[in-house]
Structure 1
């Protein structure tokens, strides 16, 4: 199968890894920032208390069946911070933003949010890939925070990374095959050729991991009887530019972005479910309309 090294050659993106981190971090340690730049990831980082993550899990437990009813699958809840107060509140939580400010500086922009809910025995994996390979943005100065809504371990398909692979930046990939049952559509073969042996980012619910947009990562199917749900949040610095409309779903979480390149979505008025109609175009219906007035609130 044909190998490629650039999904968007026409954009002439800067396909390099850029070390991140401010000189005087306040939440992360210097060692954690060095770990991120040297290995491509940091974990675990405590964020939410047990009671807080139980509330978030309960919120998602209400959200997911409504999303399924609206036509989405458990891997398609993308950028719902634009529609749902509860999601917006998570991605703008001050504790997460404090960490991102240590990595990115005083201006922090959320570009993307994505729930990944691996249901027990659903057979889906995430093949080895690099996030930056998918994204029509440049330069690659993006930090992904992955929040464990459920406990995440190898038994239920935790994320694994190839330490040090981010230093190579873009590596060859191919289109995924149907037999892989890949949630995404790119696959990097022989990942250990690009770094150290895999490390599983096992997390307790309420913890986050950070990973570079260039580090190779993936996860195996969830063969357990337990769900594995997480929320991936992609934050970037203000000098990043996007193409193909990828600047339209953002939140200016901290600081200023005077050029107007990045959209800013304020906190939604309520909880809306984007409905996937037959054409694939989303429309919004409120939770209140769908459940007779008992909308989810946190």
Structure 2
């Protein structure tokens, strides 16, 4: 038995690349999180600007606390070990009805890590269902790194519009259906995507990318991450908790972290900061 996951759930994750649903908040707590997000959106012309939706936990104290939430970390520790970094976070929002969708892809394509060892915790703040454009995954596809290409489709919500080149047998895919307050955990190599949200209700999730502190960035590149549990191994510059929402020092630190992150993802310094949704 792990701290949060049982032996069957751990074995399922190792085999399939995903485990769900896992209850980490009540529906009332999820509703409060949604309200807090929508208050931020209302104060910023109705949306969180893309540049602020990359690692927003560096800008908003309650999101910093969220990536440190013990039940989430307990489950991730069961899969990655005791020393954990948060490598990234973002809101994943589909306002419906819309044609926006996410192509089949693997998360680790542009992360540039020394090992493809990571876990994405995908927290639902509203129900995530097939009707609202919830994620679909191909169990067992987490054993091979696959080539990707630019899909060329502006409706693709991924930041680099990437899609896997190999043909995907969608008949083997499963729907990752989550109630508000539940999360899924998935491997960075599992093939996944999501269809459009065809209903008026918003689909709101918060994706948190965790890695073991023992791994680093390839090619000697220096990047930033948040130590969330255990010991730091010196592979990343450590990020700081914001003193208050959108505090000037937090904005400066956030911009610095994003510059380094975009240099890794886009392969050059000075790339435009921003975060489009991953499914």
Both proteins in one fold, TM over 0.5: yes
- What range describes the TM-score normalised by the shorter chain of this pair? 0.7 to 0.9
Residues 235-290 of structure 1, C-alpha deviations (whole Å, 9 max, x = no match) = 11122111486731x111111114x22232232111118699xx9669xxxxxxxx
Counterpart check, 1:183 vs 2:163: no
TM-score normalised according to structure 2 size: 0.82
**Cα pair 2:215 2:235 within 8 Å, conserved:** no
Secondary structure, in 3 states, of the residue corresponding to 1:65? helix
Give the structure 1 partner of residue 268 of structure 2.
none
Aligned to 2:186: 211
Distance in 1 separating the partners of 2:156 and 2:73: 34
Shift of 1:106: 1.2
1:146 aligned onto 2:122: yes
Q: For the residues of structure 1 that align with 2:107 and 2:226, how far apart are their CA atoms? A: 20
RMSD: 2.6
- How far has the Cα of 1:122 moved from its partner? 3.1
**Partners of 1:227 and 1:246 in 2: CA distance:** 37
Offset of 1:69 from its aligned partner? 6.0
2: CA distance between counterparts of 1:35 and 1:67?
41
Give the aligned partner of residue 15 of structure 1.
none
Decide whether the 8 Å contact of 1:41 with 1:209 is kept in 2: yes
Segments of structure 2 that go 5 or more residues without pairing to the other structure are: 256-270, 275-279
> Counterparts of 1:18-167 in structure 2 under 5 Å?
24-68=1-45, 72-73=49-50, 77-167=53-143
2:238 matched to 1:264?
Answer: yes
User: CA offsets per residue over residues 13-57 of structure 1, 9 Å max, x none?
Assistant: xxxxxxxxxxx5121011101111111100000000122112111
1:228 equivalenced with 2:212 (yes/no) = no
CA 1:107/1:71 → structure 2, altered by over 3 Å: closer, same or farther? Answer: closer
Where does the alignment leave 5 or more consecutive residues of structure 1 unmatched?
Answer: 1-23, 283-298
